[in-house]
Amino acid sequence: MSGNPNEKEPKNSEIAIIGDFRFDVRSLTLFDIEWQPVFLRHQSALVLSELAKSPGKTVSKDRLVSAVWGGTFVSDDSLVQCIKDIRKALCDNDRKLVRTIARIGYRLDTYQPVASFTTNQKPSIFIENIQSSGNRKISKVFATNLRDKLVLVMAPRTEVRVFTSTGNQTATDYIVQGRANVSGDCVKLFLSLSEVTLHGHFYAESFERDVSEIDQLAEDVARKISSVLRISVFNHDGEKYGNKPDGQLDFQQLMAKAHYFYGRITVPATAIARTTLQVAVERSPDDPKALAMLAHSTTQMRPYIRIEDNEAEKIWALSLADRAVALGATSAFAFRTRANLRLWLLGDHKGCRTDCARTLAINPNFYLTHLTLATSEILTGAHIAGIDRIRSFVSLTKIDRQYAYFQSLIGLAWILAGDDVAAIQFASDAYERLPDSSWHAMVYAAAASVNSSITKTEEFKKMIYEIDLPFTHFRSLPFADVKDVEMLETRLRVVGLGA
């Protein structure tokens, strides 16, 4: 059986694309482009389902009333209210999706079945029974209970489909395996994740908790699995389109290709993603995610690169983000993108946090939003709050290409908070993982400036020599207090930068 409330996996023909939304005809569930559920009253969902059964064709009022209310007498107002609900949920302000056919009924336009989009966007996982080390009954009981709790935690997550029956194992994309060992009041869990087709085992991690913390352990493991799956899909889903010309790709393939190159986190790859997204926007100019992703290209490489003030670029990116938000009122990604632009392009922390609040109202666990908020907190003096947010909501998974950036951001926060030991620990880890990054080198230089046993080494001096970011780079970041910047520059002077 599936761990999801709806046991049967949706067939492709049961998913309708309606503008920027997806409607599961079988479960009567409406999703936005990021597969976040959109609220729709049951009767309104029934009306939408009936319309979706006849895409592009007029459905009479009598047929809709009969399908939804049966033999119960209802006034026209009841059907009209359902249509209003549907249009509001679909952001169909201009009534191009649900059209009124005067004196006859309604017609649903821009409907088509999903081909491979469902599988690509919502990976499926099979959670095996967690094994126990040894024959101790307590370990077996704990392993069974943990697996049950893990399924319950993972099942409601809209970004993944969860299966627990061996009958579904061959049809899933990923397999989760685990082994638990209880010793006294402590449990050790070893977890691994493998992809069924191409990449095999690609992630493993161990967890250690008190046995009484089984609920929290299940939450932590679920968050980690979701993060790893997100990274895997982000890094590999568009790989097969990487070398294909944009003109040969359809809209969804263009989006997957752009995701893939964004995941490289390099200037050349960002340029490729931007060009691909421009084609995607030309194909679908009203798609909020395409618009937001294109706008994001402006800040994709910050703070890694030298920042040059370009007013025209700011206006262009913000106009794209404003349009994405206007078209995608339920798109968490659109609001988060505008929040990020307000932070990095305008230094507008208040506007950034307003958009972040709207994003979290749509999706409380959206990690990118928490990353933006954490950055804002760190740059406005709430250093510990920013660190705690990253640790709580931004899963620090080492296979993530952004892992080094997360470490450097925490290292920067510890510098500002006055904990030199922690600052050196996190900043050095970031630099060691990406030694070619001048950003990581600069943060590490500021952190290590108080430790002469580090700064006197030839390796450290070579690192300082190879930094190609300007000494004033911290001034181009949206710090709220210039004293923080001055403190960082003082540290950089100690190690020979800015001399």
Fold: same for 123-226 and 396-499: no
Residue 170 confidence (pLDDT): 55
Residue 126 confidence (pLDDT): 86
CATH classification number, 123-226, choose in 3.40.50.970, 3.40.50.300, 3.90.650.10, 3.40.50.10070: 3.40.50.10070
Domain 396-499 has CATH 1.25.40: yes
> How far is 51 from 111, CA to CA, in rounded Å?
10
Mean pLDDT by groups of 10 residues along the chain of 499 residues: 34 63 81 75 92 88 90 85 92 86 87 38 79 77 89 72 64 82 88 72 79 89 78 67 88 87 89 95 92 96 90 96 92 94 97 95 85 97 95 67 90 97 96 93 97 96 95 96 97 90
Burial class (CB in 10 A: 0-12, 13-18, 19+), 28: middle
DSSP 358-406: HHHHH-TT-HHHHHHHHHHHHHTT-HHHHHHHHHHHS---TTSTTHHHH
φ/ψ of residue 200, rounded to 5 = 60, -150
Residue 159 confidence (pLDDT): 61
Residue 174 confidence (pLDDT): 83
Q: Tell me, what DSSP letter sits at residue 2?
A: B
Residue 199 confidence (pLDDT): 56
Residue 382 confidence (pLDDT): 97
Cα 120 from chain centre: 15
Instruction: Report yes or no on whether pTM surpasses 0.75.
Output: no
| Residues 334 and 321: beta-carbon distance below 8 Å | yes
> How far is 3 from 50, CA to CA, in rounded Å?
28
* H helix intervals, 163-203: none
- Look at strands 161-163 and 124-127 and give their pairing: parallel
The CATH architecture one would assign to domain 12-117 is: Orthogonal Bundle (1.10)
> How far is 193 from 373, CA to CA, in rounded Å?
30
> How far is 356 from 435, CA to CA, in rounded Å?
32
| Residues 35 and 22: beta-carbon distance below 8 Å | yes
* H helix intervals, 249-305: 251-262, 267-283, 288-296
Helix or strand (DSSP H, E) at 79: helix 76-89
* H helix intervals, 308-348: 311-327, 332-341
Cα 99 from chain centre: 33
| Domain residue ranges of the chain, discontinuous segments joined by + | 12-117, 123-226, 396-499
Residue 134 confidence (pLDDT): 60
Instruction: Tell me which long-range contacts 467-470 makes (C-beta under 8 A, separation of at least 24).
Output: 467/438, 467/441, 467/442, 467/497, 468/306, 468/438, 469/305, 469/306, 469/438, 469/439, 469/442, 470/306
Structure tokens at 439: 């950003």
Produce one character per residue of 176-208: b if its CB has 16 or more CB atoms within 10 Å, e if not.
bbbbbbbeeeebebbbbbebbeeeeebbeeeee
User: Strands, E, within 147-252: which ranges?
Assistant: 161-163, 174-183, 186-195, 200-210
What residue type is 443 in one-letter code? V
Structure tokens at 450: 């108080």
